[in-house]
Chain A
Amino acid sequence: MHLHKYEKVWLTFGMASLIIFLLVIGFAAFWKGTHPQSHLETIDQNNVEAHDSFKPENLGLTEVADGKYKVNIVASAFNYDFGVDKDEKPVKTIRVPQGSTVLFTITSKDVVHGFQVAGTNVNMMVEPGHISRYEAVMKNKGEFTIVCNEYCGIGHHQMFGKVEVY
């Protein structure tokens, strides 16, 4: 079969890009353990408090080890429950030092919500009956707004919070 020279160049370019893309994705998936943020663990959406992570006293920020934190959240229409502070006021801001590793664990009591820490790689779908997790290293200092990015109803825009990296 005769192929034009340009055709050969283009085909080589196309196949080489495809191989590079697949290698990068394969590296992320099999060596670095990148996987979808949910569907791995299930939960009873009508009784999320039964799960250890979502007991009222376990919500919000906890330091597990030096530089390692976990944040447990229950999403519902139209709120993110990060627990309460010393004055029994609902927590809206999570403060962690720069370079810390933070594991976000979140579930929904009612409908599908989103959980995105805008400006970071933390971006998950939050489905009722499922637990979503994402571990991120907070490399950059700053204030990052938490938003719900799955339209969940009339109060969708009222679902927000903040992560402050200092």
Chain B
Amino acid sequence: MTKKHVSNKVPTPEVSSNLKGTFIMVMILGFLMVGAWFGAYWLFISR
């Protein structure tokens, strides 16, 4: 019982506060990739 109580309480707030920067960086990277793909596709269509 005490074991379960401890494991439930401790990691959750720490994990969520740690991942925000990671998430923002990974989304920036994602938009760069999508942007590059559509940039090249736009070139193909417009020429």
Question: Could you list which residues of chain A lie within 8 angstroms of chain B, going by C-beta atoms?
Answer: 4, 6, 9-10, 13-14, 17, 21, 24, 119-121, 139-140
Q: Which residues of B contact A10 (CB under 8 A)?
A: 23, 26-27, 30
Q: How far is the CA of A6 from the CA of B41 in the complex (A)?
A: 29
How many whole Å from A12's CB to the nearest CB in chain B?
11
CA distance A160 to B44 in the complex (A): 22
Residue tally, chain B, CB below 8 Å to A: 16
Q: Which 3 pairs of residues, A with B, have the shortest CB-CB distance? A: A6-B23, A121-B47, A120-B47
Contacting residue for A24 out of B22, B30, B41, CB 8 A: B41
Q: Which residues of chain B have C-beta atoms less than 8 A from A24's C-beta?
A: 41
Residues of B1-47 contacting chain A, CB below 8 A: 15-16, 19-20, 22-23, 26-27, 30, 33-34, 37, 41, 44, 46-47
Interface of A is mostly: helix
- Chain B residues positioned under 8 Å from A4 (CB to CB): 15-16, 19
Contact with B44, one of A14, A17, A121 (Cβ below 8 angstroms): A121
Which one of A6, A9, A17, A119 lies within 8 Å of B34 (CB-CB)?
A17
Q: Beyond A13-B30, A17-B30, A21-B37, is A6–B19 a contact (Cβ under 8 Å)?
A: yes
Chain A residues closer than 8 Å to B16, beta-carbon distance: 4
